[in-house]
Amino acid sequence: MATDLRLDPNELPLLTDLYELTMAASYFALGFNDDACFSMSSRRLPAGRGFLVAAGLERLLELVEEFRFDSSMLEYLDSLKLFDPRFLDFLGRLRFTGEIFALAEGTIFFGQEPIVEVRAPLIEGQLLETIVINQAGMASLIASKAARCTVVAKGRGLVDFGLRRSQGADAGLIAARSSYLAGFIGSSNVLAGKRYGIPLYGTMAHSYVMAHDREAEAFAHFVRSFPQISTLLVDTYDTERGVENAARVGLELKKQGHKLQAIRLDSGDLLDLSIKARRILDRHGLTETKIFASGNLDEYRVRDLVEAGAPIDDLGVGTAMVVSADAPSLDVAYKLTEYKGTPRMKTSQHKLSLPGRKQVFRAAGADGSFYADLIGLADEKEAEVAREFAPAPDRTSMLLLRRFGGGSRIGPSPTLAESREECLRSLAALAPRYKRLEKPDSYPVGLTAALAAMVERGKLEAPKRQD
């Protein structure tokens, strides 16, 4: 029997909620399968957030490209005694034939803005709902948390240390990929290194030190085995004595033509200990040896250490990032916005959805920084929408681009490294007041006149739909 930890790609169409399949079956029976548009967006930003980062698209497109129900899946669905054999036969022949428009990975976005739009026959679009939210929603949440760390680190290296406390195997992969996208320099996750080409970082655990009778002996043995990645964990016992032991080993390495790469602080007062550690290392002439810090770090602790001038070069961020501890969920929704060429709109209190096929227009100044967005209709002209911004932009851009059509992805897929550079450029172009950790300003997001008029018409028509 195969281990349950596996995620068989052939089973991914069943990684869905039951009601997606029962709705699809009912649509099939009724003959409802005209062209539709579904839009995924975050209704609002999590508390304390000033921006979000789009992620997860490339993994999602891989899935859509291979989306099909094989015989084993159809046999399982048949065993539920819920579905007409004609519907199951339809699923067996189903391939995604629609289009997907989406933000590029690494794009900064805000509340209400579409992240992904699926334009396809109704049943195809409906069946993608769960996996779109599952993949793009979580990846964007983690990328956004990681980007906050990147902003406050001010150039210090950040490494994903969260695999062991991530909420599942795939969650650990998503976190490694999303954090690298958002500016981290690497991950401890070896499988993420293999899959995505993310640089790998590792040190040692306290168990390695404790398995030896003497701390200095543990350090000597480790650097003998791995001189090229010689980072020594110095706080198993007394931290300052640990740094002294590491320094002595570093001096021996230096005689052999190598260098002690770093020492790692994982507990205690990281500011005070990093200052003391830097003095000890420098006193021994180990000025090139870095200080790596970890231990329950998040963007707030990273900011505090940086602002206090802690002589820390790199930081490992784990649990708080991979579970987005202060905001562990993103309020994303995937709503039908058009069917048979007619706009559709949900008008329930606090959960109003925006109708129609849409586009996000972004205004930027002469210095390249962007300062306002308008959500409009897909067929609006960029030049006409530009006139609705105040002040007038130096340039505008359309963020929702066609990523999938004709059964495959459109154009070459960007590498993860390219998407990472795009994210870093976007972060640099966003004004600091929107990136503050506490009480960030609200970035201006409005509706074009055309979309605003459509929303008002939708509100007026809603009561008639309940007659």
- End-to-end, the C-alpha distance of the chain in Å comes to 55
- Collapsed DSSP state (helix, strand, coil) of residue 297: coil
409: β partners: 404
User: How confident is the model over 177-189, as a mean pLDDT?
Assistant: 98
Report the distance separating Cα 411 and Cα 414, nearest Å: 9
* Residue 363 near residue 444 (C-beta atoms within 8 A): no
For strand 395-398 and strand 370-377, is the pairing parallel, antiparallel, or unpaired? unpaired
What are phi and psi for residue 84, nearest 5 degrees?
-65, 135
- Is residue 92 predicted with pLDDT exceeding 80? yes
> Counting beta carbons within 10 angstroms of the beta carbon of residue 327, is it exposed (0 to 12), middle (13 to 18) or buried (19 or more)?
middle
Report the distance separating Cα 408 and Cα 100, nearest Å: 10
Give me the pLDDT at residue 467, please.
Answer: 82
Distances in Å between the Cα of 245 and the Cα atoms of 86, 252, 284, 285, 310 are 73, 11, 11, 14, 22
Give, for 61, the enclosing helix (H) or strand (E).
Answer: helix 57-65
Q: Which residues contact 345 (CB under 8 A, 6 or more apart)?
A: 337, 352, 353, 354, 355, 455, 458, 459, 462
For 38-57, what is each residue's pLDDT tens digit? Answer: 999 999 999 999 999 999 99
292: β partners: 264, 314
- Is residue 7 predicted with pLDDT exceeding 80? no
User: How confident is the model over 112-130, as a mean pLDDT?
Assistant: 98
For strand 99-102 and strand 262-265, is the pairing parallel, antiparallel, or unpaired? unpaired
* Residue 128 near residue 24 (C-beta atoms within 8 A): no
Give me the pLDDT at residue 10, please.
Answer: 83
Report the distance separating Cα 3 and Cα 438, nearest Å: 44
Q: Which residue has the tokens 């939210």?
A: 133
Distances in Å between the Cα of 268 and the Cα atoms of 43, 64, 209, 294 are 40, 47, 18, 10
Percent of the chain residues past pLDDT 90, beyond the cut: 92
Q: How confident is the model at residue 2 (pLDDT cuts 50, 70, 90)?
A: low
- Is residue 3 predicted with pLDDT exceeding 70? no
* Residue 434 near residue 361 (C-beta atoms within 8 A): no
- The mean pLDDT value of the chain amounts to 95
- Is residue 1 predicted with pLDDT exceeding 90? no
- Is residue 241 predicted with pLDDT exceeding 70? yes
- Is residue 246 predicted with pLDDT exceeding 90? yes
* Residue 284 near residue 253 (C-beta atoms within 8 A): no
For 339-360, what is each residue's pLDDT tens digit? Answer: 999 999 999 888 899 999 999 9
Report the distance separating Cα 137 and Cα 233, nearest Å: 36
119: β partners: 37, 99
Q: Where do the structural domains in the chain lie, given as residue ranges?
A: 9-142+329-357+399-443, 153-322
Report the CATH fold assignment for 153-322. Answer: TIM Barrel (3.20.20)
- Residue 57 C-alpha from the chain's centroid: 9
431-449 in b/e form (b: 16+ CB < 10 A) is: eeebbebeebeebebbbbe
C-alpha angle 321-431-380 in degrees, rounded to nearest 5: 100
CATH code 3.20.140.10 for 9-142+329-357+399-443: yes
Q: How many CA atoms lie within 13 A of 275 on its CB side?
A: 8
* Residue 54 near residue 105 (C-beta atoms within 8 A): yes
| Residue type present at position 65 | E
- Residue 145 C-alpha from the chain's centroid: 8
